[in-house]
Structure 1
Amino acid sequence: MPDTRGRSWPVTKTAERTGSGWPVLRGSISMVLLIASLAALFMLKLVLGSVAIPVSDVVGILLGNGSDNAGWVAIVLNYRLPTAVVGIFAGASLAVAGLLMQTLFRNPLAGPDVFGLSAGASLGVAVVVLSAGTAGASSTILGNLGPFGSIGIAVAASIGSGLVLLMILIASRRIRSSMTILILGLMFGYTASSFISILMHFALAERIQAYTVWSFGSFGGATWDQIQVLVLFASVGLLVGACQVKNLNALLLGEQYAESMGLDFRRTRNVIFVTTAVLSGTVTAFCGPIAFIGIAVPHLCRALFSTANHAVLVPACILLGACLAVAADIIASVPGNEITLPLNAITSLIGAPVVIWVIFSKNRQGMEMSV
C-alpha cells in the first residue's frame, strides 16, 4: 500500500484490513490481560523496593486503614504511590505520542522526540540548572535547584518544548511535506543540543552533575500538586489522541487518498503536532527525557493485536506503555537494595531490542523503510 512517496508503511498487510485484526474475542482477552498486568505491576511497585512491604499492609494503607508501621505509610503514600501514578501516565503519554508520530510520518522509527521537542525541553532545563542553580543543588530530579525550585524546572522544560513546537507550526504553514518538517525537527533538536553542550562547558561541576542526574530520567520526586498538573495535561493529550482514531486510520492509506476522503490534512497534522508536544513535553518536564518507550510500544501493540486499526492501538498503547514504564521503574529501583539505576538505562535495554527487531523484520520482508 504505497503512500504519497511510493514507499510502503511497515504494517501494510494489516492496514489493508484495518477493521479486522484478530478475532474479537482474542483481542478482548489481550486487552483484559494488559489491564490485569497493569494492576499487578502497580501493586508490585507499591510492595517492592529497598524495604519490602506486605501486600496486606499496602492494601490497608490504600484503603485508609493505615498500618502498624508508620514508616511504611510514609513510604507508600509519599513516594511509591506518586511514582507509580507518574509512571502510568508518563508511559501511556509517550506510547500514544509515538503512535501518532509513526502514523503521521509513516516511519517505524519515529518517536515522540522526533521534532526535537525533548531536546527543546532539555535546553530549557539546562538554562535553569546550569546557569541558575546552586552548588548545593539537590540530587533529586525535581529537587530544589536554586531559587527556581521544581516548578521552575517544569516551566522551563515546557517553554523549551513549546518554542520548538512554535517554530514547527510556523514552518508547517509554508511546507507541505511531512518529511521535510521531520528533518527540520531533527535540526531543531541538534541545535538545542549544541546550546546545551555550550552551557555545560561553562557550568560548574555541581551544576553539570545535577543536570546529568535529571537527564537520566525518573518517575520519582514529583509532589502531589505537580502530579495533578501532569495528570491533567496527559489526560487531555490522550483524549485528543483517541479522538483522532478515524483520521489516523485514513492516514494509513496515504495523504492523497486521505484528502480524497475529505480529510483536512494540514489541520490534522497540526492537531497531531500539538498533541504530541503536550504529551511528550509534559512528561519531559516532570520526568526528564525518557527513551525508547514511544518508539517500541506501538510496534509491540501492532504485533500483539495484529492490527493497524487505531481504535485498538490507541487504548493498547495506553495500557502497554503504562505497563512497560512501571515495570522499568520497578527494575530500576533494584528491589531489596538501596541502589537505584538510571531509568533511561532500563527503558533502553527494553526498547532497543524492539527497534532492532523491527529493522531486521522489515528487511526480511523486503520492505523499504522511510528515513
Structure 2
Amino acid sequence: MAEITKSIPFDDLELPALTPKFSWIVAMIFSVLFFLVLDLVLGSVTIPVTEVIKILTGQGSENIAWLTIVQNIRIPKALTAILAGSALSVSGLQMQTLFRNPLAGPSVLGVTSGASFGVAILMLGTGHVTSNVAIRQLGIGGSWLIILAAAIGSAIVLLMVIGLSLRIRDNVILLIVGLMLSNLIIAVVSIWQYFSEPEQIQDYLMWTFGSLGGVSSAQLNILSIVILMGIALAFISSKFLNLLLLGESYAASMGLNLKVVKILIIISTSLLAGAITGFCGPIGFIGIAVPHLCRAVLNTSDHRVLVPSCCLLGATIMLVCDIVAQLPGHHSVLPINAVTAIIGSPVVMWVILKQKNIRSSFS
C-alpha cells in the first residue's frame, strides 16, 4: 500500500463523502435473498417455497426428487448467477473508471473476447478439453486450467487496450479501437473453427451461448475463490479509483503510483471477467449497465459504496435473468447471453436517456 501511494494523506483529499443510502443497500440485500429463493423455486419443475426453505435450512425434504434438484442443480446454478453478476458488474465499474468511459465494459473493450480466445485455445487447439464434461473430468486441475487460460487471454487484451490508451487520449476513439480489437479476435476464432473438428465446433458454439448450469459443485468452489480474490482487489483499489476520477494527472501529482494501480485493476478485472467467461461463456450487458444503475440509484461516484452495491445489484439482475432463461413450466432453457441482452439493452438506453449528464460521473 505504501508503494502505491507514496505519501498521500487520503483523509485530506476532497473525495466524495462516505454516505451510502443504507435503505437502498438493505433493499438490495433483501432483493438478492428474494430472487435467490425464487430461482430455486421456479424451473421446469415448480417446487413449493416451504420445501425450498426446509432444504436450505438443512431439514431436507420427503420428496427425494425435489431434494436432488435443489441441492445438485439449482443451488450451484443460483450461486453461479450471484458470482457472475457480482464479478461482471465490478469489473465493468473498474474499467469505466480506469478508461473514464461510460460505455467501457468487459465485452465492449475486448476483455471478454480475449477470455474467449483463451478458452478457444483449450477447446479448439487441443484435443483434451473440448466440453464442460471433459473439464469436469479433469477435476480441480481442469478448473484452474480454464480459469488460467481465460484470465490470461483477458489480461493480454486489457494490457493492449491500456497500451493504446497511452497513445490515444480520445475515449471515443479508444472505444472504437477496443471494438475493432474484439472483432479481430472473433475473426481469428472463426477461422480457427473453420479448420476444427465438428465436435469441437459444436462444443465451442454451445459455450458461446452462455450458461449458468454448467458449473459443478467442485468447480464452484474454485470459481468462488477466484471471484472473491478479484472483488477483494477491487475493494482495496476503491480509494485509488476515487483518485482516478479526479484525472490521472491530478492523481499522479498527489503521489499515486499509476502503474501499480493499473496493474491491480488489470489483475482484478482479468480474474473477474476471465473466470466468469471461462466457466459461463461470454455474458454481455451486465458489466456496462449495472454500474450506471448503481450510480443513478445511490447518487454517488464513491467506489467505497459502488463496489458493494454493484455486487448486490449485479447478483439480483443475474438471478432475474436466470429465472427468465429457465422458462418456468417448460423444459427448454434459453441462452443466458440472449436474456441479458434482451433485458439489459432497454435498461442501458433508459439510463443514458434519463441521465443526460452521464459523463459528469467520470469528472
Cα gap change, 1:149 to 1:225, in 2 (>3 Å): closer
* Distance across 1 between alignment mates of 2:136 and 2:127: 4
The 8 Å contact of residues 93 and 283 in structure 1, kept in 2 or not, is answered as yes
Does residue 158 of the first structure (1) align with residue 143 of the second (2)?
A: no
Which of these residues, 101, 118, 121, is aligned with residue 112 of structure 2?
118
Cα gap change, 1:339 to 1:249, in 2 (>3 Å): same
Cα gap change, 1:179 to 1:288, in 2 (>3 Å): farther
Q: Which residue of 2 aligns with 1:19?
A: 17
Which of these residues, 47, 53, 60, is aligned with residue 41 of structure 2?
47
Q: Which residue of 1 aligns with 2:204?
A: 211
Task: Name stretches of at least 5 consecutive residues in structure 1 with no aligned partner.
Answer: 1-15
Does residue 357 of the first structure (1) align with residue 350 of the second (2)?
A: yes
Does residue 295 of the first structure (1) align with residue 293 of the second (2)?
A: no
The 8 Å contact of residues 154 and 274 in structure 2, kept in 1 or not, is answered as no
Which of these residues, 67, 77, 90, is aligned with residue 73 of structure 1?
67
Cα gap change, 1:339 to 1:120, in 2 (>3 Å): same
Select between 233-242 and 143-152 the one with higher mean Cα deviation: 143-152
Cα gap change, 1:366 to 1:73, in 2 (>3 Å): closer
* Distance across 1 between alignment mates of 2:258 and 2:29: 34
Cα gap change, 1:192 to 1:174, in 2 (>3 Å): closer
Which of these residues, 248, 257, 268, is aligned with residue 241 of structure 2?
248
In the TM superposition, residue 60 of structure 1 has moved relative to its aligned partner by: 1.7
Q: Equivalences for 1:1-371 in 2 at 5 Å?
A: 18-19=16-17, 27-132=21-126, 142-144=132-134, 152=142, 155-156=145-146, 158-166=148-156, 168-169=158-159, 176-177=166-167, 179=169, 186=179, 188-361=181-354, 364-365=356-357
Amino acid at match of 2:120: A
Select between 299-308 and 203-212 the one with higher mean Cα deviation: 203-212
The 8 Å contact of residues 150 and 278 in structure 2, kept in 1 or not, is answered as no
In the TM superposition, residue 342 of structure 1 has moved relative to its aligned partner by: 1.0
Kindly provide the CA deviation profile for residues 203-228 of structure 1, in whole angstroms up to 9, marking residues without a partner as x. 34443232121111111121111101
Kindly provide the CA deviation profile for residues 308-356 of structure 1, in whole angstroms up to 9, marking residues without a partner as x. 1111111110000000111100110011111111111110112212332
* Distance across 1 between alignment mates of 2:119 and 2:314: 25
Cα gap change, 1:231 to 1:149, in 2 (>3 Å): closer
Query: CA RMSD of the aligned region, Å?
Result: 3.1
TM-score normalised over the length of structure 1? 0.83
Cα gap change, 1:146 to 1:242, in 2 (>3 Å): closer
The 8 Å contact of residues 82 and 224 in structure 1, kept in 2 or not, is answered as yes
Cα gap change, 1:296 to 1:219, in 2 (>3 Å): same
Kindly provide the CA deviation profile for residues 5-29 of structure 1, in whole angstroms up to 9, marking residues without a partner as x. xxxxxxxxxxx982277xx5xx111
* Distance across 2 between alignment mates of 1:62 and 1:369: 40
The 8 Å contact of residues 295 and 351 in structure 1, kept in 2 or not, is answered as no
* Distance across 1 between alignment mates of 2:57 and 2:136: 37
* Distance across 2 between alignment mates of 1:240 and 1:334: 36
Amino acid at match of 2:16: T
Kindly provide the CA deviation profile for residues 257-278 of structure 1, in whole angstroms up to 9, marking residues without a partner as x. 1122221122111211111001
Cα gap change, 1:109 to 1:44, in 2 (>3 Å): same
Kindly provide the CA deviation profile for residues 223-257 of structure 1, in whole angstroms up to 9, marking residues without a partner as x. 11110111001001111101111111111111111
In the TM superposition, residue 117 of structure 1 has moved relative to its aligned partner by: 2.7
The secondary structure found in structure 1 opposite 2:309 is helix
* Distance across 1 between alignment mates of 2:280 and 2:305: 27
* Distance across 2 between alignment mates of 1:153 and 1:179: 38
The 8 Å contact of residues 122 and 157 in structure 1, kept in 2 or not, is answered as no
Q: How many pairs does the alignment contain?
A: 345
The 8 Å contact of residues 153 and 285 in structure 1, kept in 2 or not, is answered as no
The secondary structure found in structure 2 opposite 1:143 is helix
The secondary structure found in structure 1 opposite 2:201 is helix
Q: Which residue of 1 aligns with 2:9?
A: none
In the TM superposition, residue 128 of structure 1 has moved relative to its aligned partner by: 3.3
The secondary structure found in structure 1 opposite 2:134 is coil
Percent of aligned positions that are identical: 43
Cα gap change, 1:236 to 1:368, in 2 (>3 Å): closer
* Distance across 1 between alignment mates of 2:309 and 2:358: 27
Q: Which residue of 1 aligns with 2:8?
A: none
Amino acid at match of 2:133: G
Cα gap change, 1:283 to 1:157, in 2 (>3 Å): same
